[in-house]
Amino acid sequence: MDKRYSLIIFDWDGTLIDSIPTITRSLVVAAEQMGLSLLDEVAYKSVIGLSLTNAISKLYPELSDEQLQQFIKQYREEYNQLEKQPSTPFPGVTDGLNVLREQGVSMAVATGKSRDGLNRSMTANQYREYFQASRCADETRSKPDPLMLEQLLKELDIPVEQALMVGDAGFDLKMAENLGMDRVAVTYGAQPKEKLLSHDPVFVADSFDDLIEWVSLAEHS
């Protein structure tokens, strides 16, 4: 690695927080309650990162607007029930965020979650203090549209060349790719490594510790 990043933008679910089982379970339960055909786990994981409306529409394109709203309601009821025991960070994340903060790296979040959902998760994991800014799917355009990244760069006054996107889904990487932003793929989340490699990441991390070690090399280069 031969450059230092001033800003690292993280996806949330599947990158920082181990919430994939909760999300997939909530999608399955909602589909069951709606009397819909169940899909395989890979299909449900494949839409994590999109806004909830876009994710459901991709899984079940035949739904009417009314059915879509009912699915969202069922999903949120199940998700909120499961999240009474909040999803927790992946191994190494808290220590890694502390390292980045000590190195003076600004951090932000770009997520397919709603603002309410992100706020709850940030509070439950005591993560608010780490991030200078965030964008959620209900505030801007859904991934892979790069608008949320553009907004974060403008808010923090950092050029795209000094920013890095980190995510576990093709939507995360494609969003950065659309903006010409460097991107790192993490392989421990929702989508398989092969899918992530198609978006030309500058690094592939099999753990959060791998990511921190790679980023930290810039401090000594």
Mean pLDDT, rounded, for 92-101:
97
Residue 111: beta bridge partners? Answer: 136
Chain CA centroid to CA 183, Å? 13
Could you state, in order of their start, the residue ranges of all structural domains in the chain?
7-18+88-220, 20-82
Alpha helices in the chain, H assignment, sequence order: 20-33, 41-46, 52-59, 65-82, 93-102, 115-124, 147-156, 170-179, 193-197, 208-216
| Predicted structure pTM score | 0.93
pLDDT category at 1 given cuts 50, 70, 90 is: very low
> What percent of the chain is predicted at pLDDT more than 90?
93
Query: According to CATH, what is the number of the domain 20-82?
Result: 1.10.150.240
Whether domain 7-18+88-220 has CATH 3.40.50.300: the reply is no
Quote the tokens at residue 97: 């965020």
pLDDT category at 86 given cuts 50, 70, 90 is: very high
- Considering the chain, what is the average pLDDT of its residues? 94
The distance in angstroms from the start CA to the end CA of the chain is 8
Check pLDDT > 50 for residue 25: yes
Q: pLDDT digits over 150-164, tens only?
A: 999 999 999 999 999
Mean pLDDT, rounded, for 35-39:
96
Mean pLDDT, rounded, for 179-196:
95
* Confidence (pLDDT) at 218: 58
